[in-house]
């Protein structure tokens, strides 16, 4: 599994593609049974969540992020930066209601004033070669790849 939270969030979105929301936790656990966050089974993280049903993918990612925070506070998992996860949730919130496929310029307008680890989203989006995205998962994947390329070239600091 990729190390960045955004890649992890994109993987979750890929795995839940096609599910109708609201969706029950047991359905999610089956779909995500072999997904890990920093070596921790996502099923363990889902067990931490009190809700049994989720209204949207954004709500699911938010609840997972909160469950990770609780596990960290109790010392059950090492404290780590969750900026990638929180950032992916913010992207999903900003594109909520957007019809896909969606044009890059429409997404750029929705994501203006958004930063990833202090880097303007416009710089990251400029690195993406696609002009249209078929789904939110594809958008998150392309953004993660753009971040990776910028890191490799030394244009932005290496993230989580």
> In tens digits, what is the pLDDT along the chain, a chain of 160 residues?
333 445 678 889 889 999 999 999 999 999 999 888 777 788 989 999 999 999 999 899 999 988 888 877 776 766 554 444 567 778 888 899 999 999 999 999 999 878 776 678 888 999 999 999 999 989 988 998 898 888 888 877 665 4
15 and 63 fall within a common domain: yes
The answer for residues whose C-beta is within 8 angstroms of residue 34's C-beta and 6 or more apart is none
Taking a C-beta distance cutoff of 8 angstroms, is the pair 6, 37 a contact?
Answer: no
64 and 109 fall within a common domain: no
Count structural domains, the chain: 2
Rounded distance between C-alpha atoms, residue 114 and residue 122, angstroms: 8
Rounded distance between C-alpha atoms, residue 87 and residue 39, angstroms: 21
Q: What is the pTM of this model?
A: 0.54
**Phi, psi dihedrals of residue 53, rounded to the nearest 5°:** -145, 145
26 and 61 fall within a common domain: yes
Is 128 a domain residue?
yes
How many Cα neighbours within 13 Å face the side chain of 10?
19
Taking a C-beta distance cutoff of 8 angstroms, is the pair 84, 159 a contact?
Answer: yes
Cα 44–Cα 49–Cα 53 angle in degrees, nearest 5:
115
Is 139 a domain residue?
yes
């Amino acid at each position: 599994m990729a190390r960045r939270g955004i890649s992890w969030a994109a993987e979750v979105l890929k795995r839940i593609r096609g599910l109708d929301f609201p969706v029950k936790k047991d359905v999610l656990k089956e779909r995500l049974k072999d997904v890990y966050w920093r070596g921790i089974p996502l099923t363990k993280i889902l067990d931490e969540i009190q809700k049994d049903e989720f209204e949207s993918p954004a709500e699911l990612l938010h609840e997972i992020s909160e469950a990770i925070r609780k596990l960290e506070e109790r010392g059950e998992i090492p404290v780590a930066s969750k900026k990638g996860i929180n950032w992916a949730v913010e992207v999903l919130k900003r594109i909520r209601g957007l019809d896909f496929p969606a044009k890059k310029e429409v997404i750029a307008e929705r994501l203006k004033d958004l930063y990833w680890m202090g880097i303007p989203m416009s710089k990251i989006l400029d690195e993406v070669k696609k002009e249209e995205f078929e789904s939110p998962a594809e958008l998150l994947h392309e953004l993660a790849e753009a971040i990776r390329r910028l890191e490799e070239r030394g244009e932005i600091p290496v993230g989580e």
